[in-house]
Structure formats: C-alpha cells, structure tokens
Amino acid sequence: ASRAKEEAELLALRERRREIYRELEKKRASLFRYEREAAEIQGELSALGDVAKPAELVPGSPEVLQGRLRQIERELASLGPVNLRAIEEYEAALAEVNELKDRVATLEREKEEIERFIAEIERKKREKFLDTLSQVSQELNRLFVRLFGGGEAKLALAEPGNIASDLLIQVRLPGKELRVLDALSGGEKTLVAIAFVLALAAGRPAPFYLLDEVDAALDRANSERLAGLLREYAKNAQVIVVSHNEELVRHADRIYGVVLRHGASEVLGLELVGHA
C-alpha cells in the first residue's frame, strides 16, 4: 500500500512538472512579446523627446520666430502619426512584463522543488530496490546450495547500476564455472526457478504455497532434494503440491487422489505417518 501510494504521488508530481513546463513556455513567449512591445513603445517615446520638459522662451524677432515655428512644424510632420497613448501603453506593457517575470520566477521555484522531491523519491526507490535485490540474492544462494549440495547462485543487473535493466540469474553448479540460466538443463532450471520464487517470498512469508507439477522435469535425486526443502517450509506454512512424482508424494503428510469409480470421479484422501 505504501509503495502504491508513493508511485501515485510520483505520477502526480511528474504530471505537475509537465504542466509547469508547458505554462513556463507560454509565459516566456508572452514575456518576450511584451518586452518587444515595451521596447517599441520606448523607441516611440525617445523619438518624441522629453515631453515633460517645460517650454522655454525663445528670443528673437517675429520673423525669426515664425521661421523657427515652421521648422518645428516640418520636424513634427516628418515624425508621421504620433501615438498619443504611447506612455500609457508603455506603462501597461511594463506592468505586464513585471507580472509575467514574477509568475515565471514562481513557476521556476515550484519546478525546482518538484524536481528535488522526485529526485529524492527516485533515490529512495533505487536504494530500496538494491537492498531488496541483495536480500533476495542472498536467499537465492542459500536455497541453491540447499538444493544442489553446493555451488553458488546470485542475481545481477544486466546493466550494473541501472535498476531498469534486465535481471539475470547467474549460477555455478558444484565443480563447474559460473553460467547463466539458459545454459542449464531442464531439471536444473526448474530447481533454480523454484529457489528464485521461494527467495522472493522470503521477505514476506506466505501462509501457504501452491506448486503445480513443478517437478515434471526432475530426476529422482533432484526430486528428493526438492521434497526435503518443501518439508522445511511445511514447518511454518502449508505446502500444497500437485504432482505425479512418487518421490514427492511419499514425503507428504497427506495425499489426495482422483479416481474414476462407476463412471464418476471420486476424491480419496490418505494420511501418511513418519514425517514428524
């Protein structure tokens, strides 16, 4: 339940991070547009000069003043249409720019917090995975030695350090070199697979184990070893095995068989003794 909750939180955080990235792109585009508009308006204001500068008295005769006036009129005409609302538009654009900058800064901070939180969750997940992998590998080795009378078995990542890579089972049979699971015989693969499943269950022992004809590929010696191991598990849990293997059957506490009698199937049970 705790792991499912963490995964749900992680998915929610990643979705929120994607939303922030999308909003940041939009805000940055708007910020660029308003900054450009503000620069254009600022250019218009610069062309007009200092509109707030008080008027000055210009000395001279009426003829000189008339000439100066005509010159100023020509200069104004050369400026073309003047946007009389340029100052208001500039102030509005500047306010929008500042608001967008504040929003972008807020989003950046939120994004950084989410990324730190995700990184922490990923770190804990990786740490937990590697710790569990080590525990399962140790239990697998213990069961392997129990079943094969020696040797070694371990779990390894196909890409060391990459917890998303494939998981390999490496084994060394007694007196042989280390090899991967595919190089084993059918019976050996069966025993290793059973050891792996039981090693996984060791971290959270089950009240019962159900094995369906897992011994089909085992010879007599390996069947004996498996039966001995299952009897150990039967001390703390109920072990149910579907099997036609005589070696496993004779190690059971109770056996059930299905026979055909008078055209109908009938279940028979038999209590065995001598395994206390």
**Does residue 237 contact residue 209 with C-beta atoms inside 8 Å?**
yes
| pTM of the model as a whole | 0.63
Distance CA(64)–CA(233), nearest Å, equals: 117
CA distances from 248 to 117, 220, 227 (A): 52, 9, 5
DSSP state of 165: S
Burial class (CB in 10 A: 0-12, 13-18, 19+), 55: exposed
Average pLDDT of the segment spanning 115-129? 87
* pLDDT tens per residue across span 176-204: 887 877 888 888 899 999 999 999 988 88
| Of 1 and 182, the one with more pLDDT | 182
pLDDT in tens, 64-83: 656 666 676 666 566 555 55
Assess contact for 100 and 27: CB atoms under 8 A: yes
List Cβ neighbours of 219 (8 Å cut-off, separation of 6 or more). 187
| Residue 34 backbone zone (phi > 0: left; psi -120 to 50: alpha; other: beta) | alpha
Lowest mean pLDDT among 51-60, 114-123, 180-189, 246-255: 51-60
pLDDT in tens, 256-268: 888 888 888 888 8
Query: Could you give the CA distance from residue 189 to residue 265 in angstroms, rounded to a whole number?
Result: 34
Structure tokens at 17: 């991070």
